[in-house]
Structures are given as structure tokens and as C-alpha cells.
Structure 1
Amino acid sequence: MSGNMESKNESSGKTFELSEKVTVEKVSYNNRYGITVVADMYLSKDIDMSKKYPAIVIGTPYGGVKEQGAGIYAQNMAERGFVAIAFDESFNGESSGEPRHVSSPDIFVEDFSAGVDFLGTRLFVDRNRIGAIGICGSGGFSITTAQVDPRIKAVATASMYDISSMIRDGFGKTMTDEQRAQTLVQLGEQRWKDFENGTPEVPMGFPSEPADSIPEGLDPISSEFFEYYGMERGHHPNAGAAFTITSSMSFMNFPLMNYIDTISPRPILFIIGENAHSRYFSEDAYERAAEPKELYVVPGARHIDLYDRTDMIPFDKLESFFSENLK
């Protein structure tokens, strides 16, 4: 593994080395659907529990878990004086919810608000100084949460994916209306199959053990994700990065960015890699957002590099953004 990436800490089950400057506590709380969300809370070892601190709720890349990139962000923000939690989305990771591996835009958005519920009731957190960071798919969910939850005073995204747009467009293939209608027919047929089987079908995800190489024949985007999820770099047994087939139905009917302009006057920071295949999601969202907003480009970075490349992730920028806007 490159020295520019966080190395694994096998004893903690995380894909990165734990910092000696922070403490980590596993916490849990219920969202409004009664699903138990499990998170890791990162605190600076210098924290004074008699004082109140700004806090940040951090979501995982789509299909990822808190022990990966979200934990890296939480740890680094805790080192900089923020209370930070990295959480597993409902139905995934260590969070509860049945059936497993459901993807729900409504519930994933709710998970961010549930994190705000939790943080805002800690005696050492100033509930008027809470922000959110979303990575990849959770970037879109964090934006959608901020549209309806004004308790989030500032929101930043990194390598954002708009999952609703991705699915409506046929995973980047720009589906026609006719093709989209046929996809819905197929999803309806899949629901009958799932009902008869008594459980929803989940497509094959990344391997349960890290692979030594990227399989031949994958397209460039799939190869990039395999490099992270399927190999030693970011592999975690809870992160197969696969969701039930019928989860797509909800995203067809749930545009995530429709009211992004209403987040104003609260600020949005979009962080993208210069070479990221996903950068157009953030560029489009930036155009639709109202001021104050900023688009920050990381030179040379691909999409997955903003998951774990601590030499590329602009933590100084994130620190200044939240310090300024969580006063």
C-alpha cells in the first residue's frame, strides 16, 4: 500500500491506522423509522467535556462502511477539534434494518438527520454548530438532508454521486424514456420474484476476501471501484457495495437535488478530483445551488482518491470551511 494512503489497523477492524491523538467510541441511536444506526464517534484526546464543541456527521461512500473512508474523515476532523461521527447507513454495515442491503434515498437521508439528533443531545456538543460531510453517494444524501433539516449549518461533499440521477440515467448510459419505462417493468417483475422467494435478490458485490489484482474485462469505472473495494487498499468484509435490485425503484422516484437552492444562505462546499469520472455530478449540483457555494478541485485526484488518500483530501480546506461556518 502506498505511503500516501492510510494503512490498515487490523486490531480495530478499520482500513486505516488509528491516530494517537483521538479516541474512538462505538455509539448507536435510532432514526425516526426505529432502525438502529451504528456509528463511530471520534473525539480529540484534548477534549474538555465541560465545554461545547462544533460537530460533524459523516456519511460513507455508496456501499461502504464507517471503517473505511468516512472514518478517515471523522478521525482527521476530530484531530482538528470537531466532534465527528462516521455512521453505517440503515440496512448496511453494523446498523440494523431488514432485509439487509436495501438502499433507500428517504431512509439514507433520514440517517443524516438521526446523526444530528444524536450529536445535538451530547452535553459537549453545541447543537447550533453542526455540519455534515457526505462522500460519494452520501454526498447526495447529505445535500438532500440539508434541504429539509436546517439544523445542518454547513455541508461539504467529496466525490459526490447523485445516485438518483445515476439510476435514472441507467448508470451513466443516458437512458431514453422508453428504456426507463422498460427498466421499471423489469423491476416490477423482480418484485414478484422477490415476493415468491421471500427475500429480495442482491447482485454479486465485491469479494469477501481482498483480491490480488483487478479482473480483466472491467470497464474503467468498475476497475477503479474494484481497486478500492475489492483489493487490500480499502477492502472491508462488510462493504460488498451491492444493494437489492428493487432498491432502484425508489431512486427513480426520488430526485435528490430538486431543492438544493433552498439550502442558502447556509454554505455548500463541493470537493472533486481533477480526474474524477464523477466530477460532473458536483459541477451540475454547483450550478443549481445558490450562494454561498464553492467548487474545490483537487489536482490529479480520481474519484476514489478522495476516499483515503490523506495527501490529497483537503483537510485544511474542510477545517477552514467548517470553522468559518460553524462559529
Structure 2
Amino acid sequence: MKTNAFMNKPLQIMLSILTLMLAANIAYAEDDVTWDKTFKRSDKVTHKKVSYPNRYGIILSADMYMPKDMDESQHYPALVIGTPYGGVKEQGAGIYAQTMAERGYVTIAFDESFNGESGGQPRHVSSPEIFVEDFSAGVDFLGTRPFVDRDKIGAIGICGSGGFALKAAQVDHRIKAVATASMYDMSRVIRNGWEDSMSAEERNKMLDELGKQRWEDFENGSPMLPEGFPDEPTTSIPEGLDPISSEFWEYYAMERGHHPRSHGPFTATSNMAFMNFPLMNYVDTISPRPILFIMGEKAHSRYFTEDAYELAAEPKELYVVPGARHIDLYDRTDMIPFDKLNSFFAKALQ
């Protein structure tokens, strides 16, 4: 970097520091003034916006939460927290991150590559391998903070990110414990259909159509992106939606959880990768690191959690939240078992 011979010394030092930060692709923002989350800010934590690269060179955006009274000369346990599938860090993941920071953890809630405020082109791509990598990138970041004990890092995955967190832990031994909430196995549901109802003929037809879509995307110069949730929150659920779609509409499209960066659907051809990338094939190898599976009693998605629990090896635990639906474990702080999460990670990361 060239500097003017007449540049004063303090400015030279400041620019040198900036150059080093850019070279490391790590950035911090001071505790922000504008609060753009779907939940209330806690006065018990410090919040900072951070960014860092994954191993593909994509810059991820995350919200970091720390206990307000934290002594940065000490070492704290940490948690990397993924969003519900199609969500952003300003929604459910942020609720988990802020609440666990209140309980003494350094946490980050991150936007997956190609989504939210994270980098990556084209936008709204969904990639199982890269979304799994994004969890490990969060561990990279947390484990290099001077106030984090890198031997005490856990992961929480909500909805689709539950499957990604488990997949990351299968090979990333730095993740010492995993908790999932309302888990979706996206590879399974995309390849096999809802409740494994898709026939081989239907799957082949879908793959034929996706192959044609790739040609169209190539000719158009951009991938086809299905219509997503409205830009502004609605006041009612459209007539004719099936029960599962109605539930997601209630959260993503209404005042409850609406956020302008949470589009919902991903590019159509993203589905091809999921059909070729199983998430649960080595889940038993996470052992002896513990797994906590959390699901709602009335969750439409509970079969994903029940089956993953059966595949996992000990130590493992299945925790059922009475009366809770799938989306209730996104944001219902009166239902999300934070005491259970705290006791689980306190023991697992001791």
C-alpha cells in the first residue's frame, strides 16, 4: 500500500490497521444504533455486527451477542446458531443467540451464503454443502476471538439449519455439542417428498424439469427464483393454503416474523444439489459428542427429528415441548426451552 510522504504518522498507523483487517476479511461494527430485528433488544447483552469469510471466500454476515458484564480477558463458551430454512439472522436465530448470551455464552447468529446480508452470487441460492460449511466458518470465527474458549464451542440449528448443523458436526470435531429445534432434513424432503411419498417416476420427472431449467437459467443469465413472501407484512393468511404453508405464512409473511430480507423460496435449481447430498448419513459418528433434539408436540415436522434421533448414537436426548407447533420454536420464548438448552450446553461444554 502506497502512502503519501507527507501523510501524518497517526493516519499511516490507522490505514495500516485497516489494511490488516481487510486482509483478514474480518470486520466489526460498534454496538449498533438501528435495531432491525423482529424481537426486542435485551439490555443484558452487547450486540455487534461482524463479518468473516468461509472457505469458499464468501463473506458471511452475523450478529454477535455477548454478556453485558463480560470480562474480555477471560474465556467463555460460544455457540454458532443457524437460521430456519429461508430465514435471516434478524428472526429466530437472533432470539436464540441473544437469549443464550444472556446466560453467559458468546453467540453468533449468521446469514447463510447467498442470503440475507451475507455475500455470494447469485442471490437466494441454497447449497447444502456451502450451508454446512457456513457452520464451520462460524467456528473459525468464534475460535479465534481472544475471549472465546475454542474447546467449548457448540452449535444450534433451527428448522433446516438443524440438518446443516448435524452435518457439519459429523466432520468438524471442533463442534463439541449440537442442539436442533424443529429440525427439517431438507435433503430428505426434497429427494423423497413429504413423508417420503415421492415415487421414483415423480423424482425422475422433477430432475428432467430441473435439467431444462438449468438451460433456461444459462440462456437468461440468471437463475429462476420462485415468488417469495410479500415485501410488507400481511394481516391474514390467504384462503386455500394447505396447513403447512399456512403455518409458514403466519410466521414469515405476517407481523409475527416478517423481515424484508427473508425472501422464503430459493432458486429452483438449488434442489438438484439436495437430491445428491444426504445430511444424516453419518450422524451416528458425532458420538461421543452429545446431541439435543428439540421438537414441538404438535409440529408437522416431528418425524424428521424422531428419525434423526433414532439414527444418532449416544449420548443423545429427545425433548418434546408440550403444545408447540413447528414455528413456535422459532420465536415463542415462553415455549422455547432455554433452561434445557442452557443445562445441556453447560454440561457438554464444561
CA distance in 2, matches of 1:198, 1:209: 28
Could you tell me which residue of structure 2 aligns to residue 193 of structure 1?
216
- SS in structure 1 at match of 2:292: strand
Name which of 157, 170, 178 aligns with 2:180: 157
- SS in structure 2 at match of 1:245: coil
CA distance in 2, matches of 1:115, 1:11: 24
Q: Which runs of 4+ in 1 moved over 6 A?
A: none
- SS in structure 2 at match of 1:185: helix
Could you tell me which residue of structure 1 aligns to residue 116 of structure 2?
93
CA RMSD in angstroms, aligned pairs only = 0.9
- 1:144 paired with 2:167, answer yes
- SS in structure 2 at match of 1:143: helix
Could you tell me which residue of structure 2 aligns to residue 65 of structure 1?
88
Residue 170 of structure 1: CA displacement? 2.6
Could you tell me which residue of structure 2 aligns to residue 307 of structure 1?
330
Alignment of 1:1-327 (within 5 A): 11-172=34-195, 174-327=197-350
Q: Normalized against structure 2, the TM-score is what?
A: 0.90
Matched to 2:71, the amino acid is: D
Q: Normalized against structure 1, the TM-score is what?
A: 0.96
CA distance in 1, matches of 2:85, 2:195: 16
CA distance in 1, matches of 2:189, 2:183: 11
CA distance in 1, matches of 2:34, 2:190: 37
Matched to 2:299, the amino acid is: A
Matched to 2:342, the amino acid is: E
Structure 2 residues without counterparts, runs of 5 or longer: 1-32
Tell me the alpha carbon deviations over residues 183-212 of structure 1, each in whole angstroms, 9 at most, x when there is no partner.
111100000010010000000111010001
- SS in structure 2 at match of 1:210: coil
CA distance in 1, matches of 2:338, 2:191: 33
Q: 1:258 to 1:173 in 2, by over 3 A?
A: closer
Structure of larger gyration radius: 2
Tell me the alpha carbon deviations over residues 73-121 of structure 1, each in whole angstroms, 9 at most, x when there is no partner.
0000000000000000000000000000000000000000000000000
Structure 1 residues without counterparts, runs of 5 or longer: 1-9
CA distance in 2, matches of 1:33, 1:277: 35
- Counting aligned pairs with the same residue, the percent is 75
CA distance in 2, matches of 1:37, 1:112: 11
CA distance in 2, matches of 1:272, 1:260: 18
Matched to 1:211, the amino acid is: T
Q: Tell me how many residue pairs correspond in the alignment.
A: 318
Residue 174 of structure 1: CA displacement? 1.3
Q: Which has the higher contact order (CA 8 A, sep 6+)?
A: 1
Residue 172 of structure 1: CA displacement? 4.4
CA distance in 1, matches of 2:301, 2:193: 15
